Structure 1
Amino acid sequence: MSVFFYNTLNRRREKFVPLQPGKVGLYTCGPTVYNYAHIGNFRCYAFEDILKRTLLFHGYVVRHVMNLTDVDDKTIKGSRDAGKSLTDFTRQYKDAFFADIERLRFLPADVYPAATEHIDDMIAIVRILMEKGIAYQAEDGSVYFSIAKWPQYGQLVNI
């Protein structure tokens, strides 16, 4: 039996053909660990779990990666307000997240990369985007993606 997905870009139902026969790479967004996950977060994780189970049911080998955002404005503010290190502050919410997904019987991901483990990689990617003129630095030092330099931007929403 084949697996079909709705392709938002062309608004059609399409047969799923993996890049490697029999294997699927599944990257999903995990929690930003500044607070406990809530029902809205778990709705997303439930969908991801159903998707993974469907792929497994159809015989695919699934490599699932779910990121953990353990550094952003909210985690930094929360750690400062709590008087804790960023690591100690986010650990309580990471631990609670893992306990919650176990209680909900979601299949675990194979890997949970944390943002703090990949800061150098992120900086390198931003530099490449800036060198290519696809990103630019604002007066306040923030870096933004230049939608004017990417003609395909907005295709999913027809803009």
Structure 2
Amino acid sequence: MSIKIYNTLSRKKEVFKPIVENKVKMYVCGPTVYNYIHIGNARPAIAFDTVRRYLEYKGYEVDYVLNFTDVDDKIIQTANESGKEVMEVANKYIEAYKEDVNALYVKQATHHPRVTESMDDIISFIKGLVEKGFAYEVDGDVYFKPRAFDGYGKLSQQSIDELRLVQESKWEKRNKTHWTLPCGSRQNQTKLLGIHLGEKVDQDGILNARLWQKDIWVKRLIFMQGAGFNFPAS
């Protein structure tokens, strides 16, 4: 049942060894539900469903979690434009997502957590990051500080010192790598990962090329540590 998978951290193929023998925990980034899905939403649904099915074919028991971000400015905007309640919009497009991926023969996830169901945990989570010095607040927004973690850039092989500085504001000079922590974004998925799959996962299915989302390994490690999880680097 041996499988070799490319490890971005080590830059080589390695034998896949799940944390628990014969069991695999997968967390996949789901959609923000303000409209019907497009091809960009379908891509990860199909890609990670293929990974899941292959693992199951190889004899693994797969615990597959895919979240729904059901609180977001785009959802509020859609609700205002359509004259509907925010949750009515979110519920509509969650059901539409399930219907569409089912038409693509994608299996339903084991769990479908919603951000609104874990908001208190998320707020507490972000407060923990601030208290531990990983983040700071400016004008109601909370920013993450990559320099608070010595290993930042290890996965992407990017140097913070080479990144261009943003023009100094009245608050402070911020690096472009400082990214916001709004409720309803990727850090919530990391928090939900901890709630539904525990401190460790075997596969993290997050596909995004934005600067502040490149180093998934570092982000996941720091958020878990900042929230009080014992999350090892290896």
Q: Place the TM-score, normalised by the shorter chain, in its bin.
A: over 0.9
Distance in 2, matches of 1:49 and 1:105, equals 9
Q: How far apart are 1:101 and its partner, in Å?
A: 1.2
Gaps of 5+ in 2: 159-234
Give the TM-score, by structure 1 length: 0.96
Query: Greater CA deviation, 98-107 or 77-86?
Result: 77-86
> Which position in structure 2 is the counterpart of 1:151?
150
Q: Within 5 A, what are the aligned runs for 1:3-18?
A: 3-18=3-18
Higher relative contact order (CA 8 A, sep 6+): 2
> Which position in structure 1 is the counterpart of 2:55?
55
> Which position in structure 1 is the counterpart of 2:74?
74
Query: Greater CA deviation, 80-89 or 19-28?
Result: 80-89
Distance in 1, matches of 2:95 and 2:107, equals 16
Secondary structure of 1:37's partner?
Answer: coil
CA RMSD of the aligned region, Å?
A: 1.0
Distance in 2, matches of 1:153 and 1:124, equals 23
**Counterpart amino acid of residue 10 in structure 2:** N
> Which position in structure 2 is the counterpart of 1:117?
117
Q: Which runs of structure 1 show a deviation greater than 3 angstroms over 4 or more consecutive aligned residues? A: none
Q: How far apart are 1:78 and its partner, in Å?
A: 1.5
Distance in 1, matches of 2:108 and 2:156, equals 32
Q: How far apart are 1:157 and its partner, in Å?
A: 1.6
Secondary structure of 1:152's partner?
Answer: coil
Q: Within 5 A, what are the aligned runs for 1:134-149?
A: 134-138=134-138, 140-149=139-148
Gaps of 5+ in 1: none
Secondary structure of 2:24's partner?
Answer: strand
Amino-acid identity (%): 43
Distance in 2, matches of 1:59 and 1:88, equals 40
